[in-house]
Amino acid sequence: MTHFSIEKRIIFLIVMFQCLIVSAQERSEPFERIYVFGASISARYSGYWDGFNSILFGKLGQQDGPADWLAKQYSSNHQVYINVARADTPGRIEIEHELKQPSPRFLNATSYISVDGLAKDAQTGKCEESLLFINQLIEFGQRWKKPVVLGNLPDVKPDHVDPELKQLGWRPFDPQCMNRINSLLSRVCTPKSFCYLLDLKAIYSEIESETLIYEGKVVQAKDVTFDGLHLTDLGAEILGRRIEKMISNSF
């Protein structure tokens, strides 16, 4: 039987401890500096932009979005960069500029997350730009080996959306455009290409059929969104956990 001296045992324990630290650091790396793009659902704002504030039904200020929830689980010094579109501008616009001329903040990010970055084009029926953008963004993620999370488009029922949102300009997705975007995402957004598809279409269907179970309870629409679109704290947590599971399984 082999006997080790106390010094060797101590060295062995130190090495094992260091390996555990490195493993934890590697696990947290994708969520250290998250770059969020898209529109109001992707961001940590509960409603539509109005200057620097978000005002809807008396709600003012910031709420945690999926990216904020994720970062807080993995880093005490978490950073979430918010770069979302204003008003009726498509959520991809800001990132198209970054892909052409990347800023240090964009390149320094460890992951890129968008829940609703493709929604505006689908509402207008002009989806060619979104289809091109999806491919460009995936190429960027592959080149830098950084995870990109993209949400597909759920078939949101108009009668589930608050009337005030409709007055502010919300409209349902163009069916043909929605299907083209979702079809492309299902083909090209794969872990092999460092792209992770947040299947909002499936989640929305589960909520509608009352088959979405979270922490042992059935989740209803009112639990995850307060107006048919924007996320509650629980909604942000559920999406955050979905993203966490997808990426953690690959890193």
Query: Residue ranges per domain, the chain?
Result: 30-248
Cα–chain center distance at 151: 7
Please give the CATH number for the structural domain made up of 30-248.
3.40.50.1110
pLDDT number for residue 65: 85
User: Region 175-188: what's the mean pLDDT?
Assistant: 97
pLDDT in tens, 226-236: 889 888 889 99
Widest pairwise Cα distance in the chain: 79
Tokens representing 85 are 């579109």
CB of 151 within 8 A of CB of 200? yes
Q: Which residue has the tokens 């501008």?
A: 89
What distance in Å separates the CA atoms of residue 199 and residue 189, rounded to the nearest whole number? 11
What is the DSSP annotation of 140-152? HHHHHT--EEEE-
* Mean pLDDT along residues 24-39: 75
Q: Is the dihedral of CA 178, 183, 186, 189 positive or negative?
A: negative
More confident residue, 168 or 116: 116
CA neighbor of 235 nearest in space, from 200, 211, 205, 209:
200
Output the pLDDT for position 248.
Answer: 85
* CA 71/CA 218 separation, integer angstroms: 26
Would you say residue 7 has pLDDT above 80? no
For 169-183, letters b (16+ CB in 10 Å) and e give: ebeebbeebbebbbe
